[in-house]
Amino acid sequence: MEALRLRWIDFSEKDNVITINKPVKRHNPRQIKISNKLVAMLNALPRTSEKIFPTTYRAVCKSFQRIRRRVSQNTNNPRIKSITLTTFRHWGATMTYHYTKNILLVKKLLGHKKIDNTMKYTQLVQFKDDEFDVATATDLEEAKELLAVGFDYVTEMKCVKLFRKPKRFNG
């Protein structure tokens, strides 16, 4: 819903920031840092309207429902019909909390005014403790490379440094 309200003036290519001035009801206005990839994708869109996405929520919902129904039939999976547009917001918030363990960051990203609303997202999915990629390093260069790609140092055994990072959802 908030994305459909975005206007080109809410997008700062220079700073890689989207400003949400018209949040959904009972949410806070906020600025969100976006990736270079998303900046490039937005720049590829035609600027034929004041809005970035010149469509209505109703049109997006109808299109999503059509696609959802088709995917459900093609995969013979009726559970797909239970997915809503809000499901993606909940999934994103849940995964952000899972990987950062920072409930205040999730609260800020979602624009919630009350932490109670954000807390609901932390109990949606049960994650296993063993969902980690593991790597080893035997010298300083290998250790630096692992840290640069997001691994965390755990311990050292027999002159081998052990690193891990949470596995990401890869669909």
Phi, psi of 155, deg, nearest 5: -165, 180
Give the mean pLDDT of 111-125.
80
Closest CA to 26 of 124, 91, 120, 110: 110
Q: Is the pLDDT of residue 128 over 70?
A: no
Q: Which tokens belong to 114? A: 């009350």
Write the pLDDT tens digit of every residue in 64-106: 999 999 999 999 999 999 999 888 888 888 888 877 888 899 9
Residue 127 has pLDDT above 90, yes or no: no
The Cα–Cα gap between 152 and 157 comes to 15
In the block, residue with structure tokens 């080893």: 136
pLDDT band, residue 124 (cuts 50/70/90) = low
At 170 the pLDDT is: 44
Residue 65 is predicted with a pLDDT of 96
Asked if 109 contacts 93 with a C-beta cutoff of 8 angstroms, the reply is: yes
131: helix, strand or coil: coil
Query: Domains of the chain, with CATH numbers?
Result: 2-123 (1.10.443.10), 132-166 (no CATH)
Band (54; pLDDT cuts 50, 70, 90): very high
- The per-residue pLDDT of the chain, averaged, comes to 88
Q: In 44-126, which residue ranges form alpha helices assigned H by DSSP?
A: 57-75, 85-100, 103-110, 115-119
